[in-house]
Amino acid sequence: MSKPRRRRSLSLSEEERLVRLVLNVERDLATARHARALLLRAAGWARTRVATALGATVDEVRAWEADAPRLLEAGRPTPGERSKRSVVAGVVRLFQGERIDSVAAELRVAPAELARWRDAFFAGGHEAISALLS
């Protein structure tokens, strides 16, 4: 019998702070990667899956989790980032298992567009999302 996965619950403000850090990837790639790992872990991904997806080790993912409070403090929002933040928050909801059609309807985009954003986020975080939104 396999052990059930524990999900770290994030408040909406914590999730928004992590998303903000992911969106600032061009300034600090390491921090953006760290934030992406925490978002994926909160979505229920196993450490090994997160490590594989981000090209990290399981020990790095554990260290990032231990450092989450410092990272969350660094991720306080600033004005002018709302639209990209909401796009990435929608993508995170997909990683948490929500249906693509319901999330797309709330964001008022086609499911295919949301799927494109999800794939871009997974592949390259902020840089890829910014390129799609430009």
Tell me phi and psi for residue 30, to 5 degrees: -65, -45
Residue pLDDT, tens place only, 88-126? 788 888 888 889 998 888 777 789 888 888 887 777 766
3-state class (DSSP) for residue 53: helix
Closest CA to 41 of 28, 56, 26, 29: 56
The pTM (predicted TM-score) of the whole model is: 0.54
C-beta of residue 107 within 8 angstroms of C-beta of residue 86: yes
C-beta of residue 114 within 8 angstroms of C-beta of residue 100: yes
